[in-house]
Amino acid sequence: MSKTQYYCAQTLDGYIAESDDSIDWLTGYEGSYDGPDAQPGPMSGGGSYESFYEGVGALVSGSATYEYVLQHISDPERWPYRGKPWWVLSSRDIRVPEGEGIDVRIANAAVSDLSDELAAAAGERNVWVVGGGNVASQFADAGLLDEVLVTVVPVVLGEGKPLFDRRLPGPPLQLLGSRVFETGMAELRYQVRR
């Protein structure tokens, strides 16, 4: 059965982007950790993202996340989510790139109204809440978020776009596991309890 997972990177102080939606703190990050438990991971080609992405059947995000990708991937041949449908929550008309295997759907709807469609598109795979914090909060508020996988990057911004927009309903999240990477980043995996 498909799960809805919020998978992203955040700073040590809980931000997923700067106030202007930029993520230079992540794309320009250079760090290391050489402890005995260090695994190859994010940004080192170690397969953490790749293994997660293999389990993804459909994506959903807000318009800011989607427009960031559009801004940085102008060539349809380099589209990173080829072959997987991506729902973008927005009430505005937004440009949709054309190209083989590109499937972007702009939706002006509540996440509860889209959940069955997302799950059907994902099939046996999972639905990835790509971002941002408001969209993840909407899924949590509707009782539709199953897991949170967050890679903590040892950078402190002091302000920016938070991991979630508001307090999550229900009991505290249940830790399912953690990993540390050669980059100095740490991945935490939580189950959302209801």
Q: What is the pLDDT of residue 42?
A: 64
> CATH number of the domain that 98 lies in?
3.40.430.10
* Gap between the Cα atoms of 40 and 189, Å rounded: 17
Please identify every stretch of the chain with a pLDDT value under 70, giving residue numbers as ranges: 42-47
Task: Quote the domain boundaries for residue 120.
Answer: 4-191
CA pair distance 22, 161, nearest whole angstrom: 10
Q: What is the pLDDT of residue 50?
A: 86
**pLDDT score of 73:** 87
pTM score above 0.75:
yes
Give residue-wise pLDDT tens across range 142-152. 999 999 999 99
H-helix or E-strand spanning residue 48: helix 48-54
The pLDDT score that the predictor gives to residue 154 is 97
Q: Quote the radius of gyration of the chain (alpha carbons, Å).
A: 16
Residues 161-175 have pLDDT tens digits of 999 999 999 999 999
How many domains, the chain?
1
State the pLDDT at residue 47.
58
Nearest to 18 by CA among 169, 155, 187: 155
Q: Give me the pLDDT at residue 60, please.
A: 98
